[in-house]
Amino acid sequence: MKIIIVGCGKIGTSVIESLVSEGHDIVAVDQDAETLHALGNIYDVMCVCGNGVDCETLEEAGVDRAELFVSVTGSDEMNMLSCFIARRMGARHTIARIRNPEYNDKSLNTMKQYLDISVAINPELFTAQDIFNSLRLQSAVNIETFSGRNLEMIELIVDPETKLDGMSLHELKRRYKGDYLICAVRREDEVHIPGGSFVLRNGDMIGLVVPPSEAQRLMKMLGFVQHQARNVMILGASRTAYYLAKMLIASGNDVKIIEKDEERCRQISDELPEAVVIHGDGAEQELLFEEGLGSADAFVALTGIDEENILISFFAKSRKVPKVITKVNRGELADMAVRLGIPSVVSPKKSVSEILTRYARALKNSLGSNVETLYKLMDSSVEALEFRVSEDFIGLRIPLKAMKFKPDLIIAGIIRRRRPMIPSGEDVILPGDKVVVVAAGQKLVDLSDILR
């Protein structure tokens, strides 16, 4: 598939990396020749130097043959205009990065309609939503949702308090009955799609699929610490912080934001009068203590500097803050954060890459299903996908136990008429179902790809 990416900053480069790995024909457009030169040395992409709203530049990039056109520059207005022009010049589908809160209110759908934009993406809003979900459950490293929150995938780390060390999944099911499934386990650098005989060990990261209504009860039963964050301290008054604070305040949480830029403090204080906004440098330990770090239920680092986020998050973790989340964009630094004991790491560029990968797969010809949701889990070594099933799926009405599946994948959930279920071997797939598949080391485009 021919895809044009306009804007090769952090987000654009991450998108290019993800889509190149999917085997797409990528054209990168940017005004910085040095950025394009570096990009061309790393990835097999065609590079065009120029402005994304210039018709000659877009013509040189082959916009009339593009099945997908993506504009992720730092300017919302340029992204919208670029997509509008690209659509008029023949691009079949367009995606624009739109970050400004003013645009992400009631006017967004109207703008998409008039500008003929297929999808608007807001990395900061997606990241804030991920953090908000994670704050609901203290033990959760990460929470992903499927089918309008009818099913959840919760990533957890097995520790001595859970008493799961040395327990097989068969034994776990016998001892702790409920509607759940452990569908993936990461142990050090290896990832497993486990069977019933798989034995859990302390330090394992597990992927647990469960209906949201069962999550609290199940995690308490399994021994994971449960405490919903009520008093949240946020470092950095970024756009992500704005969206997150807005969600937390609407849910009745107490929010304190620390920001060293005085003008930004005034601005966000006007935008969020219910939040406590402190002007100061969060790198100063004394300030953090004075503002109540020791009594905070959660600490979220959202400055624009990865290293600062990691170091201050590590300090908060050392002061026994129950839940610590840090924003890190660089992959190598994200690994470092995890090694330092900060497992809850979020990345705006990862969220955008997942959305674009899912959209690109959905555009491919599908034989009986379509990708509706895609998440990359456990350091991107596992994919969790949600497919909508049509009448053409070749595995309709066949018991799961009678199907021949490819190795290293599992059907983790079926949502039927908004009712989630963890399937057994007796269950079947019907038209209209949404099916959640967890797979390691494979790229699934269609639900039929799970069959041998």
Among 3.40.50.720, 3.90.320.10, 3.40.50.1000, 2.40.50.100, name the CATH number for the domain at 231-321.
3.40.50.720
Q: What is the pLDDT of residue 407?
A: 94
Residue 264 sits at φ, ψ, to 5 deg, of -65, -35
The pLDDT score that the predictor gives to residue 220 is: 87
Task: Please report how the helices 239-250 and 123-135 are oriented relative to each other, as an axis angle in degrees rounded to 10.
Answer: 40
Return the residue matching tokens 């589908």.
93
- The topology under which CATH files domain 128-222 is Alpha-Beta Plaits (3.30.70)
Q: Taking the model in full, what pTM does it have?
A: 0.88
Give every residue of the chain whose pLDDT is below 70, as ranges.
105-106, 226, 365-369
- pLDDT, residue 233, reads 98
CATH topology (fold) of 2-121: Rossmann fold (3.40.50)
If one looks up domain 360-450 in CATH, what number appears? 3.30.70.1450
- Give long-range contacts, CB 8 A cutoff, 24+ apart: 393-398: 393/367, 393/368, 393/369, 393/429, 393/431, 393/447, 393/448, 394/367, 394/368, 394/448, 394/451, 395/429, 395/447, 395/448, 395/451, 396/428, 396/429, 396/430, 396/431, 397/428, 397/429, 397/430, 398/428, 398/429
What is the C-alpha to C-alpha distance for residues 385 and 394, in angstroms, rounded to an integer? Answer: 18
Alpha carbon distance 217, 178 (integer Å): 9
Alpha-carbon distance of 52 to 49, in angstroms, equals 9
Exposure letters 85-115 (e unless 16+ CB within 10 A, then b): bbbeeebbbbbbbbbeeebbeeebeebbeeb
Check residue 339 and give its pLDDT: 84
What are the residue ranges spanned by the domains of the chain?
2-121, 128-222, 231-321, 360-450
Spatial separation of the C-alpha atoms in residues 329 and 14, rounded to whole Å:
9
CA angle 30, 35, 36 (to 5 degrees): 60
User: What is the tens place of the pLDDT at every residue in 146-202?
Assistant: 988 899 999 999 988 888 999 999 999 999 988 999 999 999 889 999 999 999 999
Residue 328 neighbours by CB under 8 Å, 6+ apart: 306, 309, 310, 334, 337, 345, 346, 347
What pLDDT, on a 0 to 100 scale, did the predictor assign at position 208? 95
Same fold, 128-222 and 360-450: yes
